[in-house]
Amino acid sequence: MIAYPARRIAIAIVTLVLASIVVFTMLEIVPGDPARIMLGMNASAEQVAQLRHQMGLDAPLLLRYLHWTGGLLKLDFGQSYTYSVPVIDLVAERMAVSLPLALIALALSTIIAIPVGLYSASRRGGTGDTIAMGTAQLGVAVPNFWFALLLIYLFAVWLHWVPAGGFPGWDAGIGLALKSLALPALALALPQAAILARVARSALIEVLSEDYIRTARAKGIPRRAVLWRHALRNAMIPVLTIMGLQFAFLLAGTIIIENVFYLPGLGRLVFQAINQRDLIVVKSVVMLLVAIVIVVNLLVDLSYALVDPRLRGRP
Amino acid sequence: MGLLKALLAAGALALAIGVSGTTSAFAVRTDLVLGVTLEPPHLDPTAGAAAAIDEVLYANVFEGLTRIGPDGEVLPDLAESWTISDDGKVYIFKLHSGVKFHDGTDFDASDVKFSLDRARATNSVNAQKQLFAAIDTVEIVDPATVKITLKHPQGAFLYNMGWGDAVMVAPESAATNKQRPIGTGPFKFQNWAKGSSITLVKSDHYWGDPVFLDKVQFRIIPDPAAAVPAMLSGDVQAFPFFPPDAVSQLQDDPNLQVEVGSTEGETILAMNNKKKPLDDLKVRQAISYALDRQAIIEGASGGLGVPIGSHMSPSSKAYLDLTGEYPHDVAKAKELLKEAGMPDGFKATLKLPPPDYARLGGEIVASQLRDVGIDLEIIPMEWAQWLDQVFTKKDYDLTIVSHTEPNDIDIYSRRDYYFNYQNPEFNKGINELNLTADETRRDELLEKAQKILADDAVVGFLFELPKVGVWNKHLQGFWKNAPIQANDLTKVKWTD
Amino acid sequence: MTLHASLLGDRSASLLRRALSNRSFVIGLVIAVAVAAVALISYVWTPYDVTRLVIADRTRPPSLAHWFGTDHFGRDILSMIMVGARNSIAVALVAVGIGMGIGVPLGCLAAARGGMLDEAVMRLNDLVFAFPALLSAIMITAVFGPGALNAIIAIGIFNIPVFARVARAGALSIWPREFILAARTAGKGKILITIEHILPNIATLLLVQGSIQFALGILAEAGLSYVGLGAQPPMPSWGRMLFDAQTRMTVAPWMAMFPGMAIAITVLGFNLLGDGLADILDPRSRRRQ
């Protein structure tokens, strides 16, 4: 029974290698010379050539690929062209923003979504359900950067409750740091909450129609107790799956929100790096994000197999 | 319902965290958060072209022999005085004594020699090597005296020594300045949170007049849309280079002061003078007639900025107003196109770098040229691509860019510059200018150069980029104009 | 007898009845038709020319002359929204087309053949899914330059695995059915069976997914053009309109309000349409209603 996990891990490794080739190739054909960008409009051709050599940009293609991937394996992500510091340091700095932001947003979205889903499922078809699900539909439909702008003008400019953007750093105090993450987390959480509430509702409805729930009801266990004790627990599987996906998305897909709030997160690091042709940063961070997704998927699949032995037989 | 809950949750969170940001109203503030749009790639002004480096460090952390003042004048800095030989080739600088770098090492003549020799060495990565091209030798006379001998007289030498690229660095710290800048200025570097902010604090043993601020945080806010709420909410108290187009939102705020000054940024519609049909003078003139500068300034620069007719800042002494040479005249433009053999106009591309003046200006220019039959395809690009395609490879028809270096009319004489323009008569004038120190003659030559550029309609001259500074009403001491891209904080203070 | 025949046959009347009584479907359909109509009308008529800048009329509030006000270049916002609808729909539609056109055959093929091919297709799916979508779209436009076409390609690529997965799952559930078995014993090839029997039976699934991906495509296009990587001027796009509006939130709020609402309503409409379709066509939910 070792076969399935081993196979699954092998597949993940192949996917990682393919992804690294895709990322590397993409960035090879990006137009724009990083050396020229660093030196600006007045630099001469010799100066540019000299810098290219210093940065190792004139080595053969395959050699550079091997050098890069070899470094990745040793957790050596290379040196940022623009900042001239190790990429791993930049990533660590940005993770200190992106990771808490993603976690807070996920927590917020869960806090909003689960009660709403529960409420809607228990009152399926009622006015409350219709209003809740209508709002959820709206939450999915509103572009989050637009919502973010509204939040900024309401809470920062008008009410002065929280800063309009920026991040003071964790050493400025947890309170200040959390304050500046409040609006971006909310802007990120709302659409996710809307999706999660819908998933939670339909999962609950599904579970509630199962036979054992009917049996439980028939035995005279109160409706509320059934909902909490049995239904919710069983509906958690699809909900947790969605939450896992959302976490991966929140970690990487926050570029626009990070821009609106000028937060120094991972997404903005990559966005900036693409624009400044700091290709080593782009390559390494994109690869890191891809690797996170692949590993998370792998773990999810392996844990499913653990839970459900039937799955062990097929990929 | 989800929304209401979300709002309540946010409110509760904000209340729980409380209002901790208020400062005492009695003591005069000595801290400042200052907004900048671009993050510097590193912090060594002698190793990079990015204006963002100077915006943080110039005059604050690093100082040169001379420096450039608020109105573009040359002032003594680390050199308290100097003498110039009669032939204009030997400069003797007398240095201030008792000057220390932030790491405690002494500043003396050997550091001057080190800095200048390093900047002009063959393997130097200084972005403005031409500033030092005239230097023949740098000699240490004694620890407080330096003798610089030039290969030929150079009118702008003292000015050149005031650039951010010519600041003094120490041999002990030069190699690490990119990450931990060590200078002689009134502020020393404290911390750089990459992607977010750079913090400077007051230096304890500064040689010159003491500064008023204890701590300055340069906060990096690239997006004008984020800069507006940052200023309105008071998170950021000063934004000396505010995006002009977005300033309309701040003008009515009672807590803020908006000051509009001038820069050295000539914003131009550059044309590839070798590419058909732009190699035809009549076509370039037609384009010049088709441009309505006032509308461009209204739409791309919030109505701020001065129209120009050639490549010279209106605040310059040698400025010649040539805006009347090609007034907005659609009929005349069409007629010129007809004379050039293109009565139905033509198609071309307009490649635009990221700044607002280019992206917004580009849309307006395209619309104005469409009125005379010229159909422009707009291609926006990042600086990286722009430098590569337009500036280096000259693969473009038209582009919009602002040339922010001061006194840079000589770029039109450079071989292989991206305009692809060559006029021997213009080059002759520039050569003479480089060798002339006499102010009257220099002005004459500059005026003639401006006229030639306008006559040749080398590019479409649009407007001088305004410097829009916004800061809290209780702050004073910022520069109104921007003769160079810098945020000199030595005079900035809070008042009641 | 095939299942799809029943959709078209005598029960179509009851299907229609059920459709018309489904609130999500009706609201979604009305919005979708309205948006499409606005986009079509914009080809022949808009209140003003959206390519003409009238700087003197810039940032005028809504009035009788300009119902939705004017933007920072004096363009009529209503006209821009109309033409922008055209752009949004085109991008989302073609992106869904790319996703379906490539994803569905891949998914069906994987289901029909199984084995190595199935494995390869699914791994390819995993590969695309592993890339953060927006980030990759930004990388694609960095390579090929911004523009509507590249936005379509970027969004389309990420639609492929979605449809491949849906098609494969749908097809796998049909293959063991009796009528397929019958067709196989009649000597029909796998490709033919896929075309004749599988595709019609997963069409509804694809329709539902298509409508959801379409809504996502509208949002994605808005996001891309908001960061400047979508349609280029003078072609108006909703995302760019929001970008232009955000530095004028207090002085010209209408510049942000109307395009934002246009996006939200359109996405809402197509999501409702998808939901409604799923409800109507899914036999399990039929039982539940």
Residue A214 has pLDDT above 80, yes or no: no
Do the beta carbons of residue B305 and residue B244 sit within 8 Å? Answer: yes
Do the beta carbons of residue C141 and residue C224 sit within 8 Å? Answer: yes
| B1 vs A100, more confident | A100
Inter-chain touch A315–C268, beta carbons under 8 Å: no
Q: Give the closest-approach CA distance of A101 to chain C in angstroms.
A: 17
Task: Please compute Rg for chain B using Cα positions.
Answer: 25
DSSP-derived secondary structure for A113-149: HHHHHHHHHHTTTSHHHHHHHHHHHHHHHS-HHHHHH
Sign of CA dihedral A282, A283, A288, A290: positive
* Rounded Cα gap, residues B158 and C50, in angstroms: 53
DSSP letter, residue B172: T
What mean pLDDT is predicted for residues B62-67? 96
% of chain B exceeding 70 in pLDDT = 95
B235: helix, strand or coil = coil
Query: What residue spans of chain C are helical by DSSP H?
Result: 3-8, 12-21, 23-44, 77-113, 115-130, 133-144, 148-174, 178-185, 190-193, 199-226, 238-245, 254-281, 283-288
Interface test with A, best of B192, B387, B410 (most A CBs within 10 A): B387
| B381 vs B65, more confident | B65
* Rounded Cα gap, residues B466 and B306, in angstroms: 7
Residues of B with CB under 8 A from a CB of C: 224-225, 228-229, 232, 243, 245-246, 248-249, 295, 298-299, 360, 362-364, 366-367, 370, 378-382, 385
Residue A109 has pLDDT above 80, yes or no: yes
Is A164 at the interface with chain C, CB within 8 A?
A: no
Strands B31-36 and B66-68: unpaired
| A225 vs C228, more confident | C228
% of chain A exceeding 70 in pLDDT = 90
| A216 vs B102, more confident | B102
Q: Is residue C84 part of a domain?
A: yes
Neighbours of B380 (CB within 10 A): 21
Residues of C with CB under 8 A from a CB of B: 51-53, 55, 58, 72-73, 142, 145-146, 228, 232-234, 243, 246-251
Inter-chain touch B380–C247, beta carbons under 8 Å: no
Task: Please compute Rg for chain A using Cα positions.
Answer: 24
What mean pLDDT is predicted for residues B333-351? 95
pLDDT of residue A248: 73
For tokens 């492929």, the residue is C160
pLDDT of residue B16: 40
What mean pLDDT is predicted for residues A87-93? 90
Residues of A with CB below 8 A from C126's CB? 11, 15, 294, 297
Query: What residue spans of B244-319 are helical by DSSP H?
Result: 281-290, 293-300
DSSP-derived secondary structure for A219-230: TT--HHHIIIII
* Rounded Cα gap, residues B138 and B150, in angstroms: 9
Q: Domain with C54 in it: what CATH number?
A: 1.10.3720.10
Q: Own/partner pairs for A300-307, CB < 8 Å, 24+ apart?
A: A300/A241, A300/A244, A301/A8, A302/A5, A302/A8, A305/A4, A305/A5, A305/A8
Neighbours of C209 (CB within 10 A): 26
Structure tokens at A79: 């040196």
What mean pLDDT is predicted for residues A114-142? 89
Q: What is the mean pLDDT of chain B?
A: 90
For chain C, list the contacting chains (3+ Cβ pairs, <8 Å). A, B
Q: Which residue of A has its CA nearest to C134?
A: A253
Cα three-residue angle A148-C147-A253, rounded to 5 degrees: 35
Q: Where are the domains of chain B?
A: 31-36+185-262+467-494, 62-176, 266-464
Do the beta carbons of residue B471 and residue B257 sit within 8 Å? Answer: yes
Whole-structure pTM over 0.95, yes or no? no
pLDDT of residue A40: 62
Nearest CB to A116; choose among B2, B48, B387: B2
| A311 vs A239, more confident | A239
Q: What digits encode the pLDDT tens for the residues B144-188? A: 999 999 998 888 899 999 999 999 999 999 999 999 999 999 999
* Rounded Cα gap, residues A203 and A197, in angstroms: 10
What fold characterizes domain B266-464?
Dipeptide-binding Protein; domain 3 (3.10.105)
- Confidence class for position C109, pLDDT limits 50, 70, 90: very high
Q: Which residue of B has its CA nearest to A167?
A: B196
Q: What digits encode the pLDDT tens for the residues C237-271? A: 999 999 999 888 888 999 999 999 999 999 999 99
Inter-chain touch B195–A268, beta carbons under 8 Å: yes
Inter-chain touch C260–A143, beta carbons under 8 Å: yes
Give the containing element (helix H, strand E) for B53: helix B51-57
Q: Is residue C21 part of a domain?
A: no
Nearest CB to B1; choose among A33, A135, A186: A135
DSSP-derived secondary structure for B31-95: EEEEEESS--SSS-GGG---HHHHHHHBTTTB--SEEE-TTS-EEESSEEEEEE-TTS-EEEEEE
Nearest CB to C132; choose among A15, A18, A289: A289
Strands B238-239 and B460-472: antiparallel
What mean pLDDT is predicted for residues C195-201? 89
Inter-chain touch B246–C53, beta carbons under 8 Å: no
Q: The domain containing residue C83 runs over which residues?
A: 45-288
- Confidence class for position B423, pLDDT limits 50, 70, 90: very high
User: Which has the closest alpha carbon to B116: B140, B152, B85, B144?
Assistant: B140
Residues 6+ apart with CB under 8 A from A249: A192, C132
Q: What is the mean pLDDT of chain A?
A: 82
Q: Is residue C214 part of a domain?
A: yes
Q: Give the closest-approach CA distance of C9 to chain A in angstroms.
A: 30
First-residue to last-residue Cα distance in chain C = 27
* Rounded Cα gap, residues B454 and B413, in angstroms: 14
Q: Is residue C25 part of a domain?
A: no
Is A245 at the interface with chain C, CB within 8 A?
A: no
C-alpha pair distances (Å), A157 with each of B231, B239, C205: 9, 17, 46
pLDDT of residue A226: 72
Nearest CB to B249; choose among C232, C243, C250: C250
What mean pLDDT is predicted for residues A37-53? 71
Residue C285 has pLDDT above 60, yes or no: no
Inter-chain touch C53–B363, beta carbons under 8 Å: yes
Question: Total domain count for chain C?
Answer: 1
Neighbours of C178 (CB within 10 A): 7
pLDDT of residue B19: 39
* Rounded Cα gap, residues B373 and C110, in angstroms: 54
Strands B398-403 and B347-352: parallel
What mean pLDDT is predicted for residues A46-58? 77
B145: helix, strand or coil = strand
* Rounded Cα gap, residues A181 and C288, in angstroms: 42
For tokens 């036999």, the residue is C283
Q: Give the closest-approach CA distance of C17 to chain B in angstroms.
A: 31
Residue C275 has pLDDT above 90, yes or no: no
pLDDT of residue B106: 95
For chain A, list the contacting chains (3+ Cβ pairs, <8 Å). B, C
User: Which has the closest alpha carbon to B44: B126, B129, B133?
Assistant: B126
Nearest CB to A36; choose among B13, B387, B405: B387
pLDDT of residue C38: 95
What mean pLDDT is predicted for residues B308-313? 95
First-residue to last-residue Cα distance in chain B = 46
Residues of A with CB below 8 A from C262's CB? none
Residues 6+ apart with CB under 8 A from B209: B490
Q: What digits encode the pLDDT tens for the residues C174-194? A: 888 888 888 888 888 888 898
Q: What digits encode the pLDDT tens for the residues C132-168? A: 877 888 888 777 778 888 888 888 999 999 999 999 9
Query: Does ipTM top 0.85?
Result: no
pLDDT of residue A33: 74
What mean pLDDT is predicted for residues A44-58? 76
Residues of B with CB below 8 A from A260's CB? 223, 225-226
Do the beta carbons of residue B271 and residue B460 sit within 8 Å? Answer: yes
pLDDT of residue B146: 96
Q: Is residue C13 part of a domain?
A: no
- Confidence class for position C11, pLDDT limits 50, 70, 90: low
| Cis ω before C234 (30° cut-off from 0) | yes
Residues of B with CB below 8 A from C233's CB? 362-363, 366, 378
What mean pLDDT is predicted for residues A80-106? 87
Burial (Cβ within 10 Å: 0-12, 13-18, ≥19) of residue A149: buried
pLDDT of residue C5: 46
Maximal C-alpha separation, chain B: 83
Q: Which amino acid is residue A113, in one-letter code?
A: A
% of chain A exceeding 90 in pLDDT = 14
* Rounded Cα gap, residues B56 and B45, in angstroms: 10
pLDDT of residue B3: 41
* Rounded Cα gap, residues B450 and B464, in angstroms: 15
- Confidence class for position B12, pLDDT limits 50, 70, 90: very low
Residue B431 has pLDDT above 70, yes or no: yes
* Rounded Cα gap, residues B241 and B56, in angstroms: 12
Q: Is residue C19 part of a domain?
A: no
What fold characterizes domain B31-36+185-262+467-494?
D-Maltodextrin-Binding Protein; domain 2 (3.40.190)
Inter-chain touch C242–A145, beta carbons under 8 Å: yes
Which CATH architecture is the domain B62-176 placed in?
Alpha-Beta Complex (3.90)
Do the beta carbons of residue B11 and residue B4 sit within 8 Å? Answer: no
pLDDT of residue A80: 83
pLDDT of residue A43: 65
Query: What residue spans of chain A are helical by DSSP H?
Result: 3-28, 34-39, 45-54, 61-73, 87-122, 127-141, 144-151, 174-208, 211-218, 223-225, 232-252, 255-260, 266-275, 279-307
Nearest CB to A138; choose among C135, C143, C268: C268
Q: Give the closest-approach CA distance of A44 to chain C in angstroms.
A: 26
Q: What digits encode the pLDDT tens for the residues A10-30? A: 888 988 999 999 989 888 877
pLDDT of residue A305: 67
Q: Which residue of A has its CA nearest to C136?
A: A286
Which CATH architecture is the domain A97-313 placed in?
Orthogonal Bundle (1.10)
* Rounded Cα gap, residues A200 and A239, in angstroms: 6
Q: Given phi > 0 = left and psi -120 to 50 = alpha, else beta, which region is B341?
A: left
